[in-house]
Amino acid sequence: SGDCPNGWTHHGTSCYRLRMDTETWVDAKLVCELDGGYLAEIENIPENNFIHGLITDNKNLWLGGTDLSVETEWMWIHSQQPFGYTNWRPTEPNNSNKDENCLEMDPNGLWNDRPCHYIQKYLCER
Ligand code: GN1
Ligand code: CA
Ligand code: CA
């Protein structure tokens, strides 16, 4: 609806497309880019609430955040901005096994760092 292409949902100043095919974080990023978008970025509580509302199962969702470049320095990969707003689950990010560099939202709308090679659904934005 609104000014978004078919299959995309409008919210705020962006369009969103939830992809239920499962991919690694890098492949999810690539699919979003091939579809004219990027892995979703969250700047504030209303955006977090909106995206949380898109989760209707008990599964996690890849977002466009990473600390792949410099451990503990979390960045939005598309905008290349450091995190401002965050909604980490308590005790996260924990870089479990020293190898968790990609950002997911859990079904409670809270954030966790997860190994980037996990395959799971993801959210594109444009
Ligand atoms: C644990 O149990 P689960 O999958 O929700 C861990 C996270 C890790 C995740 C994957 C409290 O979360 O930090 O990222 O496994 N949670 C805790 O390795 O340690
Ligand atoms: Ca990390
Ligand atoms: Ca973690």
Model pTM above 0.90? yes
CA dist., res. 101 & res. 98, Å (int): 9
**Using one digit for the tens of pLDDT, what is the confidence trace for 22-60?**
999 999 999 999 999 999 999 999 999 999 999 999 999
What is the pLDDT at residue 58?
A: 97
> Could you tell me what percentage of the chain is helix, strand and coil, using 3-state DSSP and rounding each to the nearest 5?
20, 30, 50
Residues with CB under 6 A from ligand 1: 91-92, 94, 96, 100, 112-114
Gap from CA of 115 to ligand 1 centroid (Å): 10
Identify the residue whose C-alpha is closest to ligand 1 atom 10.
114
Q: So what's the ipTM on this one?
A: 0.95
Ion ligand 2 neighbours (CB, 5 A) are 67, 71, 95, 101
Residue 122: predicted pLDDT = 98
